[in-house]
Amino acid sequence: MTATTALAGLLLFGGYGALLVREERRDLRTSAERELTFLGTSLRVGVENAMRDRQPADVEEATLRLEGIDTEVDVFVYDLQGAPVVAPTGAPTGDLRESLTTLVRESERSSETRVRYFPEARPVRLLFATPLLTDDGELVGALAISRPLADVNQDLLETAGSTAATVGIFVLLAMGLGIWIGEIRLARPLTRLVGAMRRVQEGELRAPVVEVGDDELVAVAREFNRMLAELRTAQAEAAREAEARREATRSLEAADRLVTVGQLSASVAHEIGSPLQVLLGRARSLAERPDEPERVRKGAEAMVREGERITRIVEQMLVLTRRRPARRERVDVRAIVSEVLALLEVEARRRNVTLALTGEPCVATCDPDQVRQVVLNLVRNALAAVSEQGTVRVTVDRTGASARLVVEDDGGGIPPEIRGLVFDPLFTTRADRGGTGLGLAVVKGIVLDHGGSVGVESEPGEGARFTVVLPIGGEA
């Protein structure tokens, strides 16, 4: 901005100065020409009288008197043959003499006054020539005057110097003022704004830019501060949503564990109940045999009491671990999948994994919470199986009277020797990374309760593909 202002001032004032010097040159030359013409016209009258009366002494006296007044002016008088009648002591030589002679001849031929600069490019003298005539108009000679232009050139030089000095002072002042104003009004506010942008880039959103003044940069700072406020609000909202996602994920994981613990508890209760009934029967038989010693009967009665107490505990476990009936309703399976992927989007970005959803809306009668749990477990397993820059693709479509859910990853795949164990409770290959072996067991239990099926296809190095099929009508 400073350079542009200075350049504009230089062009403007430089152009004006050039015009000013040009006008001054023209005015000075016009004045010099007028002065010399007036002087030559005045002198011509006396010289013509002296030439008509043939009094060369009078001519010489008039010219000497004029040269005495102005020693820089040279006066020449020529007769018809071009011979000098009167000439100064320092007669012209070289190009000056030739130019003066040419001018005199032109004046004699045209019978008109002539003025010329010598030399034409950078004149140092002004030449004047006028014919000398008798009263009858007869040519008797010519008068020539040579005037130096040192004073004119000096005036022009001073004018050009003062103009250049004025332009230079303006440019310096404009540059200084531009730098000062630019530093105060532009550089400092922009530096503060850039600093604030860098702090935002580093994650600091609570350092607004100071708003001082009412210019355009203050308007930019005001908009920047408004953007910071919106970013803080968005950041807080994102943090709340992330916490809600984490809480939902923890709740679903806890539900997985509870379901699996319930399954294990039911299995344990069933396995304990059968041999317990056998032991109770033998203990009652001993307690009811009168031929047994008192000590044996009392021991058998104690065994019966404790066995019955264990039976009651097992029955309570069965009541507590019995799976609740599914809450069936008509839901869009694809919409549930979309919700779960939104929950896992943050985790996927952290792992630098792409989540992709394809397919079409597919309505089925099922428990939305349990289907959501199925999708969450399958997608989280897929996320854990892929590396950075990997992709997890979920497809929902309809095949016949069933809704099909396919979860694919491009991870390392599942070795053939353990492919048949992935749905077993507590089986995991990621125990060192927090795996519990409960997720796929819960998936299988939920899908079977809905009358559906779940399977896996995988080859080492080619990823894994889990396919869930759910009856649309909710029946097997």
* 308: its two tokens: 């019955």
Buried b (16+ CB within 10 A) or exposed e, 414-428: beeeeeeebbebebb
* 3: its two tokens: 């350079």
Please give the Cα distance from 187 to 193 (Å, whole number).
Answer: 10
Give the sheet arrangement for strand 84-86, strand by strand.
84-86, 74-78, 139-148, 125-133, 114-118
CATH number among 3.30.565.10, 3.40.250.10, 3.40.50.170, 3.30.465.10, domain 329-471: 3.30.565.10
- DSSP conformation letters of 257-322: HHHHHHHHHHHHHHHHHHHHHHHHHHHHHHHH-TTS-HHHHHHHHHHHHHHHHHHHHHHHHHHHHS
Q: Which helix (DSSP H) or strand (DSSP E) does residue 357 occupy?
A: strand 354-359
Terminal Cα distance for the chain, rounded: 79
Cβ(410)–Cβ(390) below 8 Å: yes
**Burial of 357 (C-beta count, 10 Å sphere; 0-12/13-18/19+):** middle
* 326: its two tokens: 């599914």
pLDDT at position 229 is 85
How is the chain split into domains, by residue range? 2-156, 254-321, 329-471
Neighbours of 28 (CB within 10 A): 18
Cβ(182)–Cβ(13) below 8 Å: no
Q: How many residues does the chain have?
A: 476
Half-sphere exposure of 329 (CA within 13 A, CB side): 8
Q: What are phi and psi of 368, to 5 degrees?
A: -60, -35
Mean pLDDT by 10 residues, the chain (476 residues): 79 84 88 87 77 65 61 78 67 80 86 89 89 81 86 87 86 84 80 82 75 76 84 85 78 65 64 68 78 80 79 62 68 92 85 91 90 90 87 92 93 85 75 66 86 90 92 66
Please give the Cα distance from 220 to 206 (Å, whole number).
Answer: 17
Residue type, 332: D
Q: Are strands 464-471 and 453-458 parallel, antiparallel or unpaired?
A: antiparallel
Please give the Cα distance from 263 to 412 (Å, whole number).
Answer: 30
> Class assignment of domain 2-156?
alpha beta
**Quick one: how many helices (H) and strands (E) in the chain?**
11, 12
